[in-house]
Structure 1
Amino acid sequence: MNTTQNPVPFEAHRDRRNTMIDRSVASRRGVLLSLGALGLGALGLALTSCSSTTGVNAGATGSPTASGSPDASASVAPSGSASATPTAAPSGSASASPSATPSSGSTQAPGNPVPTPRPWDGPQTGLVGEGKYVAWTVDDGANPDVVRAYAEFARRTGTRLTFFINGQYPSFEQHRELLLPLVKSGQLQIANHTYSHAALTKLSDEQIVRELTRNDEEIQRLFGVSSKPYFRPPYGYYDARVLAAAASCGFTRPVLWYGSLADSSNIPSQEVLRFAKEYVDAQRIIIGHLNYPGVISVMDEIKGLMDRKGLTTVTIRDYYG
């Protein structure tokens, strides 16, 4: 099988997102939908990652979920059923693990501020329950300078981050030595965003499995850990079939978002900061991107915003186990 079928080039991500910004529409609140055992378990406003964006003030809010095409505006997912329940999945086997037996990590990682894992009840757009936590998640990996800047920022400030990476990018191998100590300590979670950023609703079940497992194999090779059971569907596009195929290979916990830094295109630093001020808040999953340098000069300001609001950064694994 051609494992790179239907790849979406990085330039196409940018072009599609810019097109969708021009189609800015009124903001929409997510609704609680039943998707069988994998029902959407949180309400939320969200920004679509990496390309299409529905919008307010050219920034856009809407729920990132199922769509038949990468060109469609994001909307809430259709109800349906999945064949597997969201439970922890076993780690896969490593292909040339760099230093350790692959593992899925632990909620007891040093520095984890969450004393007890919270219950997982379906695709998450936020952090369930009450609290003063925030999950800063970062996707893709096209720009090695941004990857390095996030790693250096995390090491310097102690900020806990979740990277949803595409293994096709060389940025992670290039900066592996900088990233690896953060991964080993649990401060940085490496999660699965597919190998080539393909729209999963457009792939066969076999291709969905291959996109996720190939990416997990690359993560294991680089960092000695498995990304299971967490994954983020590119563009936020999924449906019951996608969830069932992902669950069949151990990816039972799809992670969405509630607010974006909007830096999947090359916007100025002050625009990135403006979106952070709009969306960073307690119990939210915020999405950024490892693609353009606009975020680099405002990382400390974003962290300062979180500190002023009394928020504690957590990885997705910190919070949900």
Structure 2
Amino acid sequence: MERRRFLVLLAAGLAGAAVGRGTAGLVDPARAPVGTAAAAEPGPAPRPAVPPAPAGVVDRLPGENSSLALTIDDGTSSAVVGSLCRFAEDTGVRLTFFPNGRYSSWEDNADRLQPLVDSGQVAMGNHTWSHLDLTTLSDGEVADEVGRNRDWIERTFGVTTPFLRPPFGAHDERVDRISAELGHPTIVMWNGTLEDNRLLTPDELVAAARRWFTPQAVVVGHANRPTVTTVYDRLVELIAERGLRTVTLADAWGPGLAGVRTASGTASAG
């Protein structure tokens, strides 16, 4: 069976089964994209109120339920970014990207990303322009790294975000203060990882997912190496097997600024 069709059927079947069980499914039923079984269910329950994006450091999702935030950093590979977009399109999985604007992969795939951002299925966070250790930079250099990427995200995708993930997880009180002044009061760390900061085999990556895909986890991965693109079906199966529901950070803390359209709408990629 063609891979795209397999993923569509798998996602629809698992989401439908989850709704039938009355448990959290692969995607949030209230936000499921058209074409999934969850979207076809009549009269989804109203979404519960969510807290605003907090000031300070977060490393897990709020509340106690079955939510899972899959967050993707960097973007050195245009092919991997494009594949992740297709993964989202095919399955309804909700993702939060933390791009570095210096990598052309994001603008290469902007036409595919924009509808996902517009629908809220994909949220954006700031990972700085150049992926430098902010704690080693001067105040002005920190402001340039954060502010330049903030402006690029707004110019390219037409949204603003309260979320900053410092490269390498390196931050201190000074970095946090400057980031907040530039519109990013929430420093997003993580409590789970795909462990793909190095080249993994498919089995190694899935083993990491089995370790870290748990309720309320913020899992970090990277749009750099191709291994993740070979195991989408296994990741979807794991999410469904554990009764997890993927959310963006904007779903968990919102509306805040994450995913908020700018007054001028989407500008051309710059």
Q: Specify which of 203, 227, 234 is matched with residue 167 of structure 2.
A: 234
Residue aligned with 1:139, SS: strand
Q: Structure 1 length normalisation: TM-score?
A: 0.64
The correspondence of residues 115-134 of structure 1 with structure 2, limited to 5 A, is: 115-118=48-51, 120=54, 122-134=56-68
Q: What residue in structure 2 maps to residue 225 of structure 1?
A: 159
Residue by residue over 1:139-191, the C-alpha shift from the partner in whole angstroms, topping out at 9 and shown as x without a partner, is 00001111011100000100000001100000011111111100000000111
3-state secondary structure, aligned to 1:180: helix
The alpha carbon displacement at 1:118 in A equals 3.0
**CA pair 121-195 structure 1, distance change in 2 beyond 3 A:** closer
Q: How does 1:194-205 map to 2 (within 5 A)?
A: 194-205=128-139
> CA distance change for structure 1 residues 157 and 296 in 2, over 3 Å: closer, same or farther?
same
Number of residue pairs matched by the alignment: 212
Q: CA deviation at 1:216?
A: 1.4
**Is the Cα contact below 8 Å between 2:62 and 2:252 reproduced in 1?**
no
The one-letter amino acid paired with 2:157 is F
Gaps in structure 2 of 5+ consecutive residues: 1-29, 34-45, 255-270
Structure with a larger share of its residues in strand: 2
The question of whether the paired residues in 2 share the 8 Å contact of 1:192 and 1:231 is answered with yes
Structure with more contact order per residue of length (Cα contacts < 8 Å, sep ≥ 6):
2
Larger helix share, 1 or 2: 2
Whether the 8 Å contact between 2:67 and 2:215 is mirrored in structure 1 is yes
| TM-score, normalised relative to structure 2 | 0.75
Find the residue that maps to 1:169 and give its secondary structure: coil
Q: What is the deviation of 1:235?
A: 0.5
> Following the alignment from structure 1 to structure 2, what is the Cα–Cα distance between the partners of residues 155 and 188?
10
Partners of 1:279 and 1:301 in 2: CA distance = 14
* Aligned counterparts of 2:188 and 2:236: Cα–Cα separation in 1: 22
Is 2:70 the counterpart of 1:136? Answer: yes
Choose from 148, 153, 176 the match for 2:82.
148
Query: 2:55 touches 2:185 (CA, 8 Å); kept in 1?
Result: no
Residue 56 of structure 2 aligns to a residue whose secondary structure is coil
2:197 to 261, 264, 280: 264
- Residue deviations 1:269-294 (CA, integer Å, cap 9, x gap): 11111100111100000011000001
| 1:181 corresponds to which of 115, 119, 127 | 115
Any residues of structure 2 matched to 1:205-224 within 5 Å, and which?
205-224=139-158
- 1:312 aligned to 2:257? no
1:190 aligns with 2:154: no
Equivalent of 2:179 in 246, 251, 255: 246
Other-structure match for 1:45: none
Query: d(CA) in 1 for partners of 2:87 and 2:242?
Result: 19
Question: Which residue among 199, 217, 233 is the counterpart of 1:300?
Answer: 233
Residue 282 of structure 1 is matched in structure 2 by 215
Task: Supply the distance in 1 between the matched residues of 2:56 and 2:32 (Cα, whole angstroms).
Answer: 26
SS in structure 2 of the partner of residue 123 of structure 1: strand
The one-letter code matched in structure 1 to 2:60 is G
* Residues 56 and 176, structure 2, Cα contact 8 Å, conserved in 1: no
More off after superposition, 256-265 vs 151-160: 256-265
Q: Which amino acid in structure 2 is aligned with residue 287 of structure 1?
A: V
Q: Distance in 2 between matches of 1:171 and 1:137?
A: 17
Question: What is the Cα-based RMSD across aligned positions, in Å?
Answer: 1.6
User: Which consecutive aligned stretches of 4+ in structure 1 deviate over 4 angstroms post-superposition?
Assistant: 109-114
CA distance in 1, matches of 2:47, 2:133: 33
CA distance in 1, matches of 2:204, 2:123: 26
Percent sequence identity is: 41
1:121 CA drift (Å): 5.8
**How do residues 10-159 of structure 1 correspond to structure 2 at under 5 angstroms?**
110-111=31-32, 115-118=48-51, 120=54, 122-159=56-93
Paired residue secondary structure (2:177): helix
